[in-house]
Amino acid sequence: MGDWGRAEYLAREGIRDRRVLAAIASLSREDFVPAHERDAAQEDVPLPIGHGQTISQPYVVALMSEALRLRGCERVLEIGTGSGYQTAVLALLAREVFTVEIVRELARGARRRLHRLGFGNVFFREGDGALGWPEAAPFDAIIATAAPEEIPRALLNQLKRGGRMVIPVGAMNETQELLRIRRGMPGLLPRVERLLPVRFVPMTGQGSSMS
């Protein structure tokens, strides 16, 4: 399946945002996986990238990106850089991407990879993603590619009013749910939508969570 072939497959699976499909089509997933996984990179499956972490299947990457409803002018916070594949998709959809990875080797590998591919609108940090990036907040959108057991309070606090956060929530050995959370006006509770059941690696650190 070529890059445009992958986008056509995702469109058949229900992805409708043309900008998301074009971003997926412009990238080679093979560039973001270890050499011994490149033959499998065309498949719509998650793949190991080392250090107990995975690259999400393209459908989930596309779905999460679409759920953010990006138009190109946003500043986005990503929790869990991994190999940089989701980061690259976001960088094609938003004005700036701030990405945090706790595994040093993955963070530095993704930085080198994205610089080599010419992405100049991505900013990198090594550390506990559950703490977010307070100095760069607030963000128009936040996305997490690892699952906390509860929604980290720090991330919600760094989301703009009216902003959207897409995050998998739940323990590793239990059913996780992919949520879209919209932060409302002061005094109003966030609006939470359940998108679909998922399975993600656990978020390391996790700071403090919402009660």
Which one from 26, 28, 56, 83 is the annotated catalytic residue? 56
Whether residue 61 is contained in a domain is answered as yes
Whether residue 25 is contained in a domain is answered as no
Give pLDDT tens digits for 108-147. Answer: 999 999 999 999 999 999 999 999 999 999 999 999 999 9
Whether residue 30 is contained in a domain is answered as no
Provide the CATH number for the domain around residue 193. 3.40.50.150
Domain count, the chain: 1
- Domain range for residue 183? 46-198
State yes or no: is 56 an active-site residue. Answer: yes
| Edge-to-edge order in the sheet of strand 75-79 | 122-126, 96-101, 75-79, 139-144, 159-169, 176-182, 191-198
Give pLDDT tens digits for 148-201. Answer: 999 999 999 999 999 999 999 998 777 899 999 999 877 677 899 999 999 998
Whether residue 184 is contained in a domain is answered as yes
Whether residue 209 is contained in a domain is answered as no
Whether residue 119 is contained in a domain is answered as yes
Whether residue 205 is contained in a domain is answered as no
Residue count of the chain, please give it.
211
Whether residue 28 is contained in a domain is answered as no
Backbone torsions φ then ψ of 135, nearest 5 degrees: -65, -25
What is the value of pTM for the model shown? 0.92
